[in-house]
Amino acid sequence: MTSEIDQFILYIATERGLSPAYQLSVRQSLDALTKWLDQQGIERWDDIGTEELTIFLTAQKNHGLSASSLRVSMVHLKIFFRYLTSKKITIADPAEPLLSPRGDLHLPETLNEQHITTLIESVDVAKPLGKRDRAILEIFYASGLRLSELCHVRLENLDLEEHFIRVTGKGNKTRLVPVGGRACEAVQDYLKNERPELVKKKTSSWIFLSIRGGALSPERVREIVKQRAKAAGIKQSIYPHLLRHSFATHLLQNGADLRVIQDMLGHADIATTQIYTHVDQKGLKSVHQRFHPRG
């Protein structure tokens, strides 16, 4: 049974371009499954049904696996058995009927729209590096970029006339992401009036530069976001990914389609994006309880 796992890991590495860390995570889930199957005396993939997978996941839960880890393990099982079925190794997909475990749902933190406005507009663009830092915050919130994506974006990836930016995300996958009008204005201001002063002899085409003319490191960008939030008087812990969460949540709350948000975030599976529907439902419930006569 291990040969099919090896083939599957090779498939997600070469065909789907998933990271070594994700490959390791998948292998750990499948190794746990094969160990349990060996204990049960099951030697063929085609002898596994939905009931066996349910018993396995229950055993994992009883051994202390959290609901979030169970969900990850279930995703791994689903994509693995979908692969086995596509290769005719199994006749039917036993993982397809599995339902995600409920409880212990950790919703992503977000900032409300007023806090976002306060954070961005508190940056004084007349002061040194103000234009750069304002542009960074605008891009994070306008386009929902990951920290690594923002740090690696280059001038040739940006089209301010069409309001798009090309980024390379997880799995080395490239996508086009819209850039809002205010973000375009902030980036244009930075590129025209501040970036030239940061350019040195060996400066490359990175958009966001340090005072030494090199690309900003992820650690430095985290520090910039934290410092700007503190200066704005925001007591909540602020970090770049929080702006990405806020971007997705506010789009959903204002009526954006979930699959469009999935494309903009660069999620391979819409199940990852669906976490934001829980955030939105939480907000709806709060509004209902507050304003409904019998809430």
pLDDT tens, per residue, the chain with 295 residues:
788 999 999 988 888 888 888 889 899 999 999 998 888 888 888 888 887 888 888 888 888 888 778 888 888 999 999 998 888 888 778 888 777 665 544 556 788 899 999 999 999 999 999 999 999 999 999 999 998 899 999 999 999 999 999 998 877 789 999 999 999 999 999 999 999 999 999 999 999 999 999 999 999 999 999 999 999 999 888 989 889 989 998 998 888 888 888 889 988 777 677 777 665 555 545 544 665 455 4
Interatomic CA distance for residues 248 and 267, integer angstroms: 12
CB 139 within 8 Å of CB 150: yes
Is 250 annotated as catalytic?
no
- Let me know if 83 is a catalytic residue: no
Catalytic residue from among 170, 175, 182, 222: 170
**243 neighbors 110 (Cβ within 8 angstroms):** no
Q: Which pLDDT score is estimated for 288? A: 45
**Known catalytic residue: 154?**
no
**Cβ contact 181:163 at 8 Å:** yes
Out of 71, 154, 220, 241, which one is annotated catalytic? 241
Contact call for residues 267 and 294 (beta carbons, < 8 A): no
Q: What does the pLDDT read at residue 100?
A: 64
Do 2-86 and 113-287 share a fold? Answer: no
Does residue 63 have an active-site annotation?
Answer: no
* SS3 state at 201: coil
State yes or no: is 146 an active-site residue: yes
What pLDDT score does 55 carry?
86
Q: What residue segments make up the domains of the chain, in order of their start?
A: 2-86, 113-287
Active-site hit among 228, 244, 245, 250: 244
Place of tokens 């090309």: 166
> What homologous superfamily is domain 113-287 in, according to CATH?
Intergrase catalytic core (1.10.443.10)
**Half-sphere CA count of 48, side-chain side, radius 13 A:** 29
Extended strands (E) in 143-269: 158-159, 164-168, 174-178
What token pair was written down for 145?
């970029």
116 token code pair: 């976002």
- The pLDDT value recorded for residue 149 is 92
Active site residue 241: yes
Dihedrals phi, psi of 178, to nearest 5 degrees = -65, 150
- Tell me, what's the pLDDT at 195? 97
Query: Phi and psi at residue 288, in whole multiples of 5°?
Result: -60, -45
pLDDT for 151? 92
Q: For residue 134, what pLDDT is reported?
A: 97
Residue closest to 49 by CA, chosen among 81, 9, 5: 81
Q: Which of 146, 195, 228, 245 is catalytic?
A: 146
End-to-end CA, the chain? 54
> d(Cα 265, Cα 189) in Å, to the nearest integer?
26
Q: Could you tell me if 53 and 76 are in contact, meaning their C-beta atoms sit under 8 angstroms apart?
A: no
Tell me which of 276, 285, 288, 292 is the catalytic residue.
276
- Of the candidates 240, 238, 233, 120, the residue with the CA atom closest to the CA atom of residue 183: 120
**Considering the domain 2-86, what is its CATH architecture?**
Orthogonal Bundle (1.10)
Place of tokens 């304002």: 134
